[in-house]
Amino acid sequence: MRAVVIGSGVGGLSAAIRLSAMGLEVLVLEKLGGPGGRASVHQAQGFTFDMGPTVITVPPFLEDLFATKPGDPRLYPDFPQEEGLAHTERYVKLVPLDPFYRLHFPDGTHFDYKDDPEHLQREIARLAPEDLEGYRRFEAHARALFQKGFLELGFTHFGSLLDLLKVAPDLSFEALDQVVELCRKHGLEGLVAVNTTLERPGLKSPLAEEAGGLSGRPLKGRSLEVLRYLAGVKDLTLVSVGGVESPMDVWERLKLGARLVQVYTGFVYGGPLFPRRTLKGLLRLMEAEGVRSLTELWVSIP
């Protein structure tokens, strides 16, 4: 079996290494003159310029790649454990920097940034004590974003459709509680709320009595009710579906805690440009409420 990886940046090379370790024949395509992407090297007029990062903040990721071997792609659903750098140092030596950076200011003062939270706060207190409390709030907020967006969602693996369970809108809240417990018991990742309904809420069409599941706008109210009820379930990923027709519909569900929003009927009637219009409208709504990212939004949900 063959695999094609487009782009030979750090991410592309990492994917190629793991695919090769899985036994695939890998072809890497690169538009530029050499590999590396943002971590490449540029040479001009006898000088060599490093185009990439000056500090490697997560050496365990590199160690994990250098430890990869045929038959062992090291596809772990979690942050790589600290195992030293023995495999990395067969090829390259990483030298710790202390400090990471030294920032010089026009008045002759400087700021040392290093991997020491207490030292960092002392530096802020030395140069701008009025900013220290604001920094502490920022650090707490950034830590929460990192925990949710990187350590949790970044390592959530959805390798099978069976990892998600779709629930019927006709279930009672008591039945939903039982579904949540079953998901936890069997290690499922999340819930898709909701499926089509057998009810006919307010439907006046002469076809209302036809058999089968009903989707679209008539499902919207119950879909939101179920999502609001499940919003307190923090250990399962929630996917909202049912009656999504506009950017506001998507925004409302994201604010309730949905991590994904699925569209069926709205896509049918909205046409092929529906996703584009929806995303543009969603960006405008986020800007209007001062939300810079969805991770920031979700962290703020109690």
CB 226 within 8 A of CB 169: yes
Give the separation between CA 157 and CA 188, rounded to whole angstroms: 11
Q: Is the pLDDT of residue 151 over 90?
A: no
136 band by pLDDT with thresholds 50, 70 and 90: very high
Expressed in angstroms, the distance from the first to the final Cα of the chain is 47
Is residue 41 reached through a cis peptide bond, with omega within 30 degrees of 0 on the bond before it? no
Q: Where are the alpha helices (DSSP H) in the chain?
A: 10-21, 59-66, 117-127, 132-145, 173-186, 220-230, 247-255, 265-270, 274-288, 294-300
Q: Tokens 């409390």 identify what position?
A: 133
Q: Is the pLDDT of residue 137 over 70?
A: yes
Give the separation between CA 76 and CA 67, rounded to whole angstroms: 13
Instruction: Please report the sign of the dihedral spanned by the C-alpha atoms of residue 51, residue 54, residue 60, residue 66.
Output: positive
100 band by pLDDT with thresholds 50, 70 and 90: confident
Give the separation between CA 31 and CA 173, rounded to whole angstroms: 54
DSSP 124-164: HHHH-GGGHHHHHHHHHHHHHHIIIIIIIGGG----SGGGE
Helices 220-230 + 247-255 axis angle, to 10: 20
What's the confidence (pLDDT) of residue 83?
72
The per-residue pLDDT for range 32-44, each reduced to its tens digit, is 888 888 788 888 8
Domains of the chain in start order, with CATH, are 2-89 (3.50.50.60), 101-154 (no CATH), 159-300 (3.20.20.70)
Element (H, E) at 191: strand 190-193
CB 91 within 8 A of CB 40: no
Comparing 29-38, 158-167, 271-280, the range with the smallest average pLDDT is: 158-167
